[in-house]
Amino acid sequence: MASNDLKSTARAMVAPGKGILAADESFPTIKKRFDSIDVESTEENRRAYRELLFTTAGVEAHISGVITFDETLRHAAADGTPFPRLLSDAGIIPGVKVDSGAKPLAGYPDEKITEGLDGLRDRLAEYRDLGARFTKWRAVIKIGHGIPTGFCIDANAHALARYAALSQEAGLVPIVEPEVLMDGDHSIERCEKFTEATLSHVFFQLLAHRVALDEMVLKPSMVIAGKDCPEQASIAEVAQATVRCLLRTVPAAVPGIVFLSGGQSAKLATQHLNAMNALGDHPWELSFSYGRALQEEALKAWKGDSANVGTAQDAFLHRSRCVSAARYGEYTEAMEAA
Protein backbone atom coordinates (compact mmCIF):
# COMPACT_ATOMS: atom_id res chain seq x y z
CA MET A 1 0.00 0.00 0.00
CA ALA A 2 1.27 3.46 -0.86
CA SER A 3 2.54 5.60 1.98
CA ASN A 4 -0.10 8.28 1.40
CA ASP A 5 -2.79 5.60 1.87
CA LEU A 6 -1.39 4.76 5.31
CA LYS A 7 -1.35 8.45 6.21
CA SER A 8 -4.96 8.93 5.13
CA THR A 9 -6.05 5.78 6.96
CA ALA A 10 -4.30 6.90 10.15
CA ARG A 11 -5.98 10.30 9.91
CA ALA A 12 -9.37 8.69 9.25
CA MET A 13 -8.95 6.53 12.37
CA VAL A 14 -8.80 9.72 14.46
CA ALA A 15 -11.28 11.80 12.45
CA PRO A 16 -12.95 14.62 14.43
CA GLY A 17 -15.69 13.33 16.72
CA LYS A 18 -14.79 9.70 16.13
CA GLY A 19 -12.86 6.97 17.91
CA ILE A 20 -12.18 3.24 17.82
CA LEU A 21 -14.13 0.34 19.28
CA ALA A 22 -11.84 -2.29 20.82
CA ALA A 23 -13.65 -5.59 20.19
CA ASP A 24 -10.49 -7.69 20.25
CA GLU A 25 -11.03 -9.58 23.51
CA SER A 26 -9.08 -12.84 23.69
CA PHE A 27 -10.94 -16.07 24.48
CA PRO A 28 -10.26 -15.82 28.27
CA THR A 29 -11.29 -12.14 28.36
CA ILE A 30 -14.54 -12.54 26.41
CA LYS A 31 -15.38 -15.52 28.65
CA LYS A 32 -15.09 -13.23 31.70
CA ARG A 33 -17.35 -10.67 30.02
CA PHE A 34 -19.93 -13.34 29.18
CA ASP A 35 -19.67 -14.93 32.63
CA SER A 36 -20.76 -11.58 34.09
CA ILE A 37 -24.11 -11.93 32.26
CA ASP A 38 -24.37 -15.75 32.63
CA VAL A 39 -23.87 -16.41 28.93
CA GLU A 40 -21.71 -19.27 27.65
CA SER A 41 -18.74 -18.17 25.52
CA THR A 42 -19.50 -20.26 22.44
CA GLU A 43 -18.30 -19.29 18.98
CA GLU A 44 -21.86 -18.49 17.88
CA ASN A 45 -22.54 -16.32 20.94
CA ARG A 46 -19.31 -14.42 20.32
CA ARG A 47 -20.21 -13.95 16.66
CA ALA A 48 -23.76 -12.82 17.46
CA TYR A 49 -22.58 -10.34 20.07
CA ARG A 50 -20.02 -8.77 17.72
CA GLU A 51 -22.66 -8.57 14.97
CA LEU A 52 -24.92 -6.71 17.40
CA LEU A 53 -22.22 -4.08 17.89
CA PHE A 54 -21.14 -3.85 14.25
CA THR A 55 -24.69 -3.43 12.88
CA THR A 56 -25.81 -0.69 15.27
CA ALA A 57 -27.48 1.89 13.03
CA GLY A 58 -25.91 5.34 13.21
CA VAL A 59 -22.82 4.31 15.17
CA GLU A 60 -20.60 5.09 12.16
CA ALA A 61 -21.05 8.77 13.03
CA HIS A 62 -19.03 8.16 16.20
CA ILE A 63 -16.91 5.05 15.53
CA SER A 64 -14.14 5.28 12.92
CA GLY A 65 -12.72 1.78 13.26
CA VAL A 66 -13.01 -1.55 15.06
CA ILE A 67 -10.18 -3.68 16.43
CA THR A 68 -11.14 -7.32 15.99
CA PHE A 69 -9.72 -10.58 17.28
CA ASP A 70 -8.41 -13.20 14.82
CA GLU A 71 -11.60 -15.25 15.11
CA THR A 72 -13.83 -12.19 14.65
CA LEU A 73 -12.02 -11.00 11.51
CA ARG A 74 -12.89 -14.36 9.94
CA HIS A 75 -16.54 -14.32 11.05
CA ALA A 76 -19.54 -13.21 9.00
CA ALA A 77 -22.93 -11.72 9.78
CA ALA A 78 -26.02 -13.93 9.83
CA ASP A 79 -26.65 -13.03 6.17
CA GLY A 80 -23.18 -14.27 5.20
CA THR A 81 -21.47 -10.88 4.82
CA PRO A 82 -17.88 -11.11 6.16
CA PHE A 83 -17.39 -8.76 9.10
CA PRO A 84 -14.57 -6.77 7.41
CA ARG A 85 -16.85 -6.02 4.45
CA LEU A 86 -19.81 -5.30 6.73
CA LEU A 87 -17.75 -2.69 8.58
CA SER A 88 -16.20 -1.19 5.44
CA ASP A 89 -19.62 -0.85 3.80
CA ALA A 90 -20.75 1.14 6.86
CA GLY A 91 -17.74 3.45 6.58
CA ILE A 92 -15.93 1.85 9.55
CA ILE A 93 -12.30 0.76 9.16
CA PRO A 94 -11.60 -2.89 10.11
CA GLY A 95 -8.49 -3.69 12.13
CA VAL A 96 -7.08 -6.65 14.04
CA LYS A 97 -5.03 -7.39 17.15
CA VAL A 98 -1.87 -9.24 16.07
CA ASP A 99 0.13 -9.95 19.24
CA SER A 100 -0.16 -13.30 21.03
CA GLY A 101 -0.39 -11.91 24.53
CA ALA A 102 1.79 -10.77 27.43
CA LYS A 103 3.89 -13.58 28.90
CA PRO A 104 6.26 -13.67 31.92
CA LEU A 105 9.58 -11.95 31.18
CA ALA A 106 12.25 -14.53 31.98
CA GLY A 107 14.53 -13.40 34.79
CA TYR A 108 12.26 -10.51 35.78
CA PRO A 109 9.61 -11.59 38.31
CA ASP A 110 6.19 -9.91 38.02
CA GLU A 111 7.06 -8.31 34.66
CA LYS A 112 5.82 -9.30 31.22
CA ILE A 113 6.86 -9.19 27.57
CA THR A 114 4.39 -9.35 24.70
CA GLU A 115 5.02 -12.17 22.24
CA GLY A 116 3.95 -12.75 18.65
CA LEU A 117 6.78 -11.52 16.41
CA ASP A 118 7.55 -14.99 15.05
CA GLY A 119 5.65 -15.46 11.80
CA LEU A 120 4.13 -11.99 12.05
CA ARG A 121 5.07 -10.92 8.50
CA ASP A 122 3.05 -13.80 7.00
CA ARG A 123 0.10 -13.23 9.36
CA LEU A 124 0.00 -9.55 8.44
CA ALA A 125 -0.23 -10.41 4.75
CA GLU A 126 -3.13 -12.76 5.48
CA TYR A 127 -4.94 -10.17 7.61
CA ARG A 128 -4.57 -7.59 4.86
CA ASP A 129 -6.08 -10.05 2.37
CA LEU A 130 -8.98 -10.65 4.80
CA GLY A 131 -9.74 -6.92 4.74
CA ALA A 132 -7.91 -5.44 7.72
CA ARG A 133 -6.48 -1.96 7.23
CA PHE A 134 -4.83 -1.48 10.60
CA THR A 135 -3.35 -3.59 13.40
CA LYS A 136 -2.78 -3.42 17.14
CA TRP A 137 -0.07 -4.68 19.52
CA ARG A 138 -0.34 -4.24 23.30
CA ALA A 139 2.51 -4.13 25.79
CA VAL A 140 1.83 -4.09 29.55
CA ILE A 141 3.93 -2.26 32.12
CA LYS A 142 3.17 -2.94 35.79
CA ILE A 143 4.04 -0.56 38.60
CA GLY A 144 5.02 -2.21 41.89
CA HIS A 145 7.86 -2.65 44.34
CA GLY A 146 11.06 -2.20 42.32
CA ILE A 147 9.19 -2.37 39.01
CA PRO A 148 8.97 -1.58 36.17
CA THR A 149 12.65 -2.11 35.41
CA GLY A 150 14.31 -0.23 32.60
CA PHE A 151 14.95 -3.54 30.86
CA CYS A 152 11.27 -4.49 30.83
CA ILE A 153 10.28 -1.10 29.43
CA ASP A 154 12.97 -1.25 26.75
CA ALA A 155 12.24 -4.88 25.77
CA ASN A 156 8.56 -4.06 25.24
CA ALA A 157 9.39 -0.83 23.40
CA HIS A 158 11.67 -2.78 21.06
CA ALA A 159 8.95 -5.37 20.34
CA LEU A 160 6.37 -2.62 19.71
CA ALA A 161 8.70 -0.95 17.23
CA ARG A 162 9.50 -4.20 15.38
CA TYR A 163 5.78 -4.90 15.10
CA ALA A 164 5.03 -1.37 13.88
CA ALA A 165 7.72 -1.53 11.21
CA LEU A 166 6.42 -4.88 9.94
CA SER A 167 2.86 -3.58 9.95
CA GLN A 168 3.73 -0.55 7.82
CA GLU A 169 5.77 -2.77 5.50
CA ALA A 170 2.59 -4.85 4.99
CA GLY A 171 0.53 -1.75 4.17
CA LEU A 172 -1.27 -1.66 7.52
CA VAL A 173 -1.43 1.22 10.02
CA PRO A 174 -0.06 0.10 13.40
CA ILE A 175 -1.76 1.03 16.67
CA VAL A 176 1.09 1.09 19.19
CA GLU A 177 -0.30 0.31 22.66
CA PRO A 178 2.01 0.65 25.68
CA GLU A 179 -0.32 0.21 28.67
CA VAL A 180 0.83 1.23 32.12
CA LEU A 181 -1.55 -0.82 34.23
CA MET A 182 -3.95 0.61 36.80
CA ASP A 183 -3.35 -2.44 39.02
CA GLY A 184 -1.69 -1.48 42.32
CA ASP A 185 -1.69 1.24 44.93
CA HIS A 186 0.72 3.65 43.21
CA SER A 187 0.14 7.39 43.18
CA ILE A 188 -0.63 9.44 40.08
CA GLU A 189 2.89 10.90 40.40
CA ARG A 190 4.48 7.43 40.07
CA CYS A 191 2.19 6.67 37.14
CA GLU A 192 3.27 9.86 35.39
CA LYS A 193 6.95 9.07 35.99
CA PHE A 194 6.73 5.58 34.48
CA THR A 195 4.35 6.54 31.68
CA GLU A 196 6.81 9.24 30.61
CA ALA A 197 9.70 6.75 30.74
CA THR A 198 7.72 4.18 28.76
CA LEU A 199 6.66 6.58 26.02
CA SER A 200 10.19 7.99 25.74
CA HIS A 201 11.59 4.48 25.18
CA VAL A 202 8.80 3.60 22.74
CA PHE A 203 9.43 6.60 20.49
CA PHE A 204 13.21 6.12 20.62
CA GLN A 205 12.70 2.57 19.32
CA LEU A 206 10.08 3.59 16.74
CA LEU A 207 12.47 6.09 15.22
CA ALA A 208 15.35 3.59 15.36
CA HIS A 209 13.19 1.10 13.45
CA ARG A 210 12.32 3.77 10.85
CA VAL A 211 8.62 3.70 11.63
CA ALA A 212 6.80 6.58 9.92
CA LEU A 213 5.19 8.45 12.80
CA ASP A 214 2.53 10.03 10.56
CA GLU A 215 1.40 6.53 9.54
CA MET A 216 0.69 5.18 13.03
CA VAL A 217 -1.65 5.77 15.96
CA LEU A 218 -0.65 5.72 19.64
CA LYS A 219 -2.87 3.95 22.20
CA PRO A 220 -1.61 4.81 25.69
CA SER A 221 -3.13 4.56 29.13
CA MET A 222 -4.12 7.73 30.94
CA VAL A 223 -1.95 9.03 33.78
CA ILE A 224 -4.03 7.89 36.71
CA ALA A 225 -3.46 6.60 40.25
CA GLY A 226 -3.52 2.83 40.83
CA LYS A 227 -7.00 1.53 41.54
CA ASP A 228 -5.97 0.58 45.11
CA CYS A 229 -4.41 3.97 45.85
CA PRO A 230 -6.28 5.61 48.77
CA GLU A 231 -5.90 9.05 47.17
CA GLN A 232 -7.49 9.19 43.73
CA ALA A 233 -6.78 12.27 41.60
CA SER A 234 -9.61 14.48 40.35
CA ILE A 235 -10.79 14.40 36.75
CA ALA A 236 -9.00 17.71 36.12
CA GLU A 237 -5.74 16.41 37.65
CA VAL A 238 -5.81 13.27 35.49
CA ALA A 239 -6.40 15.37 32.37
CA GLN A 240 -3.59 17.80 33.17
CA ALA A 241 -1.07 15.09 34.10
CA THR A 242 -1.87 13.02 31.01
CA VAL A 243 -1.59 15.92 28.56
CA ARG A 244 1.61 17.15 30.26
CA CYS A 245 3.16 13.69 29.91
CA LEU A 246 2.17 13.41 26.25
CA LEU A 247 3.53 16.85 25.39
CA ARG A 248 6.90 15.77 26.80
CA THR A 249 7.11 12.51 24.88
CA VAL A 250 4.89 12.25 21.77
CA PRO A 251 6.08 13.95 18.55
CA ALA A 252 3.57 16.18 16.77
CA ALA A 253 3.94 14.03 13.62
CA VAL A 254 1.70 11.38 15.25
CA PRO A 255 -1.80 12.12 13.89
CA GLY A 256 -3.72 10.90 16.88
CA ILE A 257 -3.75 9.38 20.34
CA VAL A 258 -6.56 6.94 21.17
CA PHE A 259 -6.74 6.23 24.89
CA LEU A 260 -7.56 2.85 26.36
CA SER A 261 -10.03 2.85 29.23
CA GLY A 262 -7.94 0.41 31.27
CA GLY A 263 -10.62 -0.70 33.68
CA GLN A 264 -12.26 2.69 34.21
CA SER A 265 -16.04 2.87 34.24
CA ALA A 266 -17.75 4.04 31.06
CA LYS A 267 -18.67 7.36 32.64
CA LEU A 268 -15.24 8.08 34.14
CA ALA A 269 -13.40 7.23 30.91
CA THR A 270 -15.74 9.64 29.12
CA GLN A 271 -15.21 12.38 31.71
CA HIS A 272 -11.41 12.10 31.57
CA LEU A 273 -11.32 12.32 27.77
CA ASN A 274 -13.69 15.27 27.86
CA ALA A 275 -11.51 17.14 30.37
CA MET A 276 -8.41 16.66 28.20
CA ASN A 277 -10.09 18.02 25.10
CA ALA A 278 -11.58 20.90 27.09
CA LEU A 279 -8.01 22.05 27.89
CA GLY A 280 -7.69 23.42 24.34
CA ASP A 281 -5.93 22.50 21.12
CA HIS A 282 -3.24 19.80 21.11
CA PRO A 283 -0.61 18.76 18.51
CA TRP A 284 -2.52 15.51 17.90
CA GLU A 285 -6.14 14.39 17.98
CA LEU A 286 -7.07 13.08 21.46
CA SER A 287 -9.52 10.26 20.91
CA PHE A 288 -10.58 6.90 22.33
CA SER A 289 -10.12 3.21 21.71
CA TYR A 290 -12.30 1.80 24.46
CA GLY A 291 -13.29 -1.81 25.00
CA ARG A 292 -15.23 -2.35 28.20
CA ALA A 293 -16.07 1.37 28.58
CA LEU A 294 -17.91 1.32 25.22
CA GLN A 295 -19.42 -2.15 25.53
CA GLU A 296 -20.36 -2.75 29.15
CA GLU A 297 -23.80 -1.14 29.07
CA ALA A 298 -24.68 -2.88 25.80
CA LEU A 299 -23.46 -6.25 27.12
CA LYS A 300 -25.65 -5.97 30.23
CA ALA A 301 -28.66 -4.99 28.12
CA TRP A 302 -28.14 -7.90 25.69
CA LYS A 303 -27.86 -10.74 28.25
CA GLY A 304 -27.36 -13.21 25.40
CA ASP A 305 -30.99 -12.87 24.29
CA SER A 306 -31.75 -11.98 20.65
CA ALA A 307 -34.91 -10.22 21.85
CA ASN A 308 -32.68 -7.64 23.56
CA VAL A 309 -30.55 -6.75 20.52
CA GLY A 310 -32.36 -3.46 19.89
CA THR A 311 -32.04 -2.35 23.53
CA ALA A 312 -28.35 -3.31 23.57
CA GLN A 313 -27.70 -1.38 20.34
CA ASP A 314 -29.42 1.68 21.83
CA ALA A 315 -27.07 1.45 24.84
CA PHE A 316 -24.01 1.12 22.58
CA LEU A 317 -25.10 4.05 20.42
CA HIS A 318 -25.75 6.20 23.50
CA ARG A 319 -22.30 5.57 24.97
CA SER A 320 -20.67 6.14 21.57
CA ARG A 321 -22.52 9.45 21.30
CA CYS A 322 -21.32 10.51 24.78
CA VAL A 323 -17.67 9.65 24.07
CA SER A 324 -17.92 11.36 20.68
CA ALA A 325 -18.98 14.56 22.47
CA ALA A 326 -15.95 14.18 24.75
CA ARG A 327 -13.76 14.39 21.64
CA TYR A 328 -14.77 18.06 21.44
CA GLY A 329 -14.79 18.69 25.21
CA GLU A 330 -18.57 19.05 24.92
CA TYR A 331 -19.75 16.09 27.02
CA THR A 332 -22.10 16.97 29.88
CA GLU A 333 -23.64 15.01 32.74
CA ALA A 334 -27.06 15.67 31.22
CA MET A 335 -26.15 13.50 28.23
CA GLU A 336 -26.16 10.42 30.48
CA ALA A 337 -29.91 10.70 30.92
CA ALA A 338 -30.69 11.66 27.33
Q: Return the pLDDT at 218.
A: 98
What are the tens digits of pLDDT across the range 45-55? 999 999 999 99
Note the pLDDT of residue 2: 61
* Number of residues that this document lists for the chain: 338
What confidence category does residue 32 fall into, taking pLDDT thresholds of 50, 70 and 90? very high
Residue 203 has pLDDT above 70, yes or no: yes
Q: What is the pLDDT of residues 265-324, one digit of tens each?
A: 999 999 999 999 999 999 999 999 999 999 999 999 999 999 999 999 999 999 999 999
311: alpha, beta or left? (left if phi > 0; alpha if psi -120 to 50): alpha
Nearest to 24 by CA among 153, 118, 105, 132: 132
What mean pLDDT is predicted for residues 13-28? Answer: 97
Separation between Cα atoms, residue 50 and residue 37, nearest integer Å: 15
Give the integer Cα–Cα distance in Å for 112 and 183.
14
Report the pLDDT value the prediction gives residue 294, as an integer from 0 to 100.
96
The per-residue pLDDT for 316 is 98
The question of whether 43 is a catalytic residue gets the answer no
Cα separations in angstroms, 178 against 42, 197, 225: 30, 11, 17
Active site annotation includes 177? yes
Kindly state the average pLDDT of the residues 112-116. Answer: 98
Active-site position among 219, 285, 296, 297: 219
Q: Which pLDDT belongs to residue 44?
A: 97
pLDDT, residue 132, reads 98
Per-residue pLDDT averaged across 229-251, rounded? Answer: 97
Residue 337 has pLDDT above 70, yes or no: yes
* Cα 320 to the center of its chain, rounded Å: 14
Distance of CA 235 to the CA centre of its chain: 20
Report the pLDDT value the prediction gives residue 71, as an integer from 0 to 100. 97
Catalytic residue, chosen from 177, 179, 192, 196, is 177
| Predicted pLDDT of residue 7 | 98
The answer on pLDDT for 211 being more than 70 is yes
**Residue 1, pLDDT score:** 52
Residue 179 confidence (pLDDT): 98
pLDDT at 338 (0 to 100): 75
Q: Give the residue with greater pLDDT, 1 vs 51.
A: 51
Q: 303: closest CA among 18, 2, 35?
A: 35
Q: Is the pTM higher than 0.85? A: yes
CATH 3.40.50.880 fits 3-337, yes or no: no
Domain boundary assignment for the chain: 3-337
Q: What pLDDT, in 10s, does the model give residues 72-97?
A: 999 999 999 999 999 999 999 999 99
pLDDT the model gives residue 49: 98
Task: Kindly state the greatest CA–CA separation across the chain.
Answer: 53
Q: With contact defined as beta carbons under 8 Å apart, do 265 and 293 qualify? A: yes
Asked if pLDDT for residue 335 goes beyond 90, the answer is yes
pLDDT at 3: 66
